[in-house]
A and B are shown apart, each in its own frame.
Chain A
């Protein structure tokens, strides 16, 4: 691969576009300039830090270091998922549910890819494992947070309809099935959009990156197809596990609707 190296000056020129956004905000009184500048500064610091961190970890060739990085990334994703709904579970139950969904969805898809399609030596090579986990976690986060938010807001909104059924002896599972389906559906929409738009409306980021880095487009496309399948699988697992987990937490052995477990 013969990537064209970027200099600090190159980045500085591109940064003038952010300055343009900020000026626009001042001129049109959008009240966004502070946020635009803060977000771009944050992005630069985060990415530079992660670049150096990855350089160190890649150099260590140690599975524990690789695992540690992935665990931290997954933990942040789980926290984001649990924090997204308007009404959240009390006592960290939301975090436990989303951590379970994130862990299963990520481990299953990353290990599948490393063991079958990509097969680096050694299989836990940080360069592949961390990059894959990073991309997959993005989809897991999206699917999981949309599913959880959809589920909790749906149940909250329709609680009188659910309790009307419970009061007549309908099971909790039957009374809430439509909300479970809607939540999983909602979680899967982004990856469906992503797949149907890929190559026509958007050139996916990974593929673009590899092409920019000098890889043959067809080879880049193959990687992208593999990734899309992984993302679809991870999204499905994440939405499924988190929606089911949340639904279980919303009831008890007496099949009540336990909205008191939300705050």
Chain B
């Protein structure tokens, strides 16, 4: 499923690796994530979790080196990079009136299938964005990234506003992707979620990242 096959020996390079990633606001971060692995970052609000994910997606100015399967991000166009390493914010943004307009036509079929699996009704998918509940928005925003079939997913509190049933559905889907080799880095406040996803746990404290005790 991952679209960027590693050019060299697949096992030698981690899927995602960061060196000296820092800005005036957070870091420095050194971190790596193997293919098919999950990492969960927790921490107080304002501790820099979103800044960390945004830096990896190259959405904020910063210094440092990021590599995907050994290939440097600096050598890639920003748009190509973010298609491979998409970032889904905690608060979903919408830019058209109807839900379907947020998907490229050729990916719409896949999006519908995923929406069904995550318990978002057909009426919602075919309706206007303003009629969606917060939880539906959250799931559809996740689906916008999932349909890209990217090798990495950066997810900022993907299950924040969801009920337990929906949380379970999202986690099932993420586990499936992990098993298929996708690497997932997510912000989560729920230690049990990290356990359910088999994630390595990290804590963000004072804008620095440390493995959870």
Contact = CB atoms under 8 A, between A and B. Distances in A.
B63 interface: no
B100 to A, nearest CB: 16
Contact of B61 (A165, A170, A256): A256
Contact of B91 (A160, A168, A178): A160
Interface residues of B, number: 26
A163 interface: yes
- Which of B81, B93, B144 has the most chain A CB atoms closer than 10 A to its own CB? B93
B79 A161 contact: no
A163 B53 CA distance: 13
A254 B94 contact: no
Main secondary structure of the interface of A (DSSP, over half): loop
A167 B59 contact: yes
Given A163-B89, A164-B89, A256-B60, A169 B82 contact: yes
A255 interface: yes
Contact of A167 (B61, B82, B84, B94): B82
Contacts of B57: 167
Contacts of A178: 95
A16 to B, nearest CB: 55
Contacts of B61: 252, 254, 256, 258, 260
Contacts of A165: 93, 95
A175 interface: yes
Interface in A128-177: 158-171, 175
Given A163-B59, A168-B144, A255 B78 contact: yes
A254 B95 contact: no
B88 interface: yes
Contacts of B145: 167-168
Given A160-B89, A252-B61, A166 B94 contact: no
B83 A162 contact: no
A254 B75 CA distance: 11
Given A167-B59, A168-B145, A254-B58, A160 B93 contact: yes
A257 B154 CA distance: 18
Given A167-B57, A167-B59, A256-B59, A161 B86 contact: no
A147 to B, nearest CB: 21
Contacts of A161: 93-95
A167 B55 CA distance: 11
Given A161-B94, A164-B92, A255-B79, A169 B86 contact: yes
B173 interface: no
B148 interface: yes
A168 B79 CA distance: 8
Contact of A169 (B88, B92, B148, B154): B148
Nearest to B80: A169
A244 B61 CA distance: 22
A154 B58 CA distance: 23
Contacts of A163: 59, 89, 93
19 contacts: A158-B95, A159-B93, A160-B93, A161-B93, A163-B89, A164-B89, A164-B92, A166-B82, A167-B154, A168-B87, A168-B144, A168-B148, A169-B82, A169-B86, A171-B79, A252-B61, A254-B78, A256-B58, A257-B59
Interface of A: 158-171, 175, 178, 252-258, 260
